[in-house]
Chains A and B, each alone.
Chain A
């Protein structure tokens, strides 16, 4: 890899230990992929929370921050484990509060914006078309490439953080125009998409992710006015069962105004894969891992709920009460929670027995302590949350529509398809 004189100084430690460490990471990483140079990044997002970092990870971050190392690129942070404003009433164990407190302090020291959200692109971290970025969160990374047209590889936290500190990233993979072309045509024209809710797009994503793997697909026959929640449903689930970094949605993705452009010139436009209604039906059965009808917790927010989703849930809950033996959480960002308060939704939801929890996502963070508190069976409208809560924390999970989840919270037992 060719380094500029300034980058050589950074590698040699002339600008401090933290920058040298960052350059060590970036050069080792870049040479794995035969990157020829380092290019500037404009936006970074990092993901790891305590269940992933463990104590040693917090130590590593604290070491990095020693000597005043700070990020030089706008950097935001994914959700944490609990809502600090509700820590007492939610009986969050002290050992977790200490860990999250240490993570918060070190992020501030490093100059990272403590957004604690996975919809960072809704609250200020918005790259432009063609920007080179490093987003270490597989769902939003694909969203950036596929909906915004910014360029990010599937980088992990250490690489993203190193990029934020050094201000550069190795140029390989999806940073290069030639690698962003689709290599697989996926036809969804057989499906009755007009009748599809966001949950159906999630089931579709689940089914197709496995078949697509790490390739870059182009979807054809999608309605061009597809709602953003349905796009998110599809993209965020494709990356659970697959490992693709980019998805072309013909007519929606900026780099895919049509099939031909998405594929480039030298390729036949015939479909390689056609999604069938029975594949989507089958996915429902695979996503749910539940056996027990009684639901301990209904939890929304993977990715964290937008204000539109909270409005929908609040509408469904109007005049209703959550069952006495079931908890009901809406996980979102502090910004959306503030909006809920302003709009009177927070008061209405709280009155119905619903908790609005900020700084937390429904997939992982809270399940460590929820399990200790006896939560075993959860209902979700997110295939991603179902997968991670089940495989990482052993929860029994039921997956269905927002409406089915709300009805389950009211009756205390699963009301969706089994």
Chain B
């Protein structure tokens, strides 16, 4: 198991299977709020659902309306359980805060290099760390 220090954006605990992207995500247009499936053509998660995952990606991008779309996805049960970003951006941070989703960023080592899709990941956004159990 690897433990990495992280800066909390929100509070709380989350654990589950990681889904890792190397590309920024836009929730408006980029993710279907009905299914949680990434639908942006050319995205490395294209066709995959973020529902129930620990979503690991560099940062957010795109329309500032993204937090409305993320909230709808959360209420429909298809949002991620937790979020790990390299560098938090406003739309993603606000999405996490209004849904109570545990979120951290600024890890001591890059999460993209240390977490692979399918790894079991635990976020402690109260104490500020991430634990990775390799699959």
Interface on A for B, CB 8 Å cutoff? Answer: 24-25, 28-29, 31-33, 47-48, 52-57, 59-60, 136, 138, 154-159, 391-392
CB atoms of B98 and A54 under 8 A apart: no
Query: Is the pair A32, B93 in contact by a Cβ cutoff of 8 Å?
Result: yes
Chain B positions within 8 Å of A, measured between CB atoms, are 7, 9-10, 28-29, 33, 64-69, 71-72, 74-76, 87-91, 93-94, 96-98, 105
Residues of A within 8 A of B69 (CB): 52, 54
Which residues from A are CB-within-8-Å of B29? 391-392
> Would you give the shortest CB distance from A67 to chain B, in whole angstroms?
17
Contact between chains at B75 and A59 (CB < 8 Å): yes
29 A-B pairs within 8 Å (CB atoms) are namely A25-B97, A28-B93, A28-B96, A29-B90, A29-B93, A31-B93, A32-B9, A32-B88, A32-B90, A32-B105, A48-B65, A48-B68, A52-B28, A54-B33, A54-B68, A56-B71, A56-B72, A56-B74, A56-B76, A57-B68, A57-B71, A60-B98, A155-B64, A155-B90, A156-B64, A156-B65, A157-B65, A157-B68, A158-B98
Q: Say how far B99's CB is from chain A's closest CB, in angstroms.
A: 10
CB distance from A162 to the nearest CB of B (A): 9
Contacts across chains A and B counted by CB atoms under 8 Å: 77
Q: How far is the CB of A174 from chain B (nearest CB, A)?
A: 13
DSSP class of A's interface residues: helix, strand, loop or mixed?
Answer: helix
With a CB–CB cut-off of 8 A, which chain A residues contact B71?
56-57, 60
In-complex Cβ contact of B9 among A31, A52, A56, A138 (8 A): A31
Which of B7, B75, B89, B98 is A25 in contact with, Cβ under 8 Å? B98
Given A32-B88, A57-B72, A60-B71, residue A157 in contact with residue B64 (CB < 8 A): yes
Q: Which residues of chain B come closer than 8 Å to A156, judged between CB atoms?
A: 64-67, 90-91, 94
Does B9 lie within 8 Å of A47, measured CB to CB?
A: no
- Chain A residues within an 8 Å CB radius of B72: 54-57
Chain A residue, CB-CB nearest to B89:
A32
Question: Which residues of chain A have C-beta atoms less than 8 A from B28's C-beta?
Answer: 52
Give B28's nearest chain A residue, CB to CB. A52
Beyond contacts A56-B71, A56-B74, A154-B64: 17 other A-B pairs, Cβ-Cβ < 8 A, are A25-B97, A28-B9, A29-B94, A29-B97, A32-B87, A52-B28, A54-B33, A54-B68, A56-B76, A57-B68, A57-B72, A59-B75, A154-B90, A156-B64, A156-B67, A157-B65, A392-B29
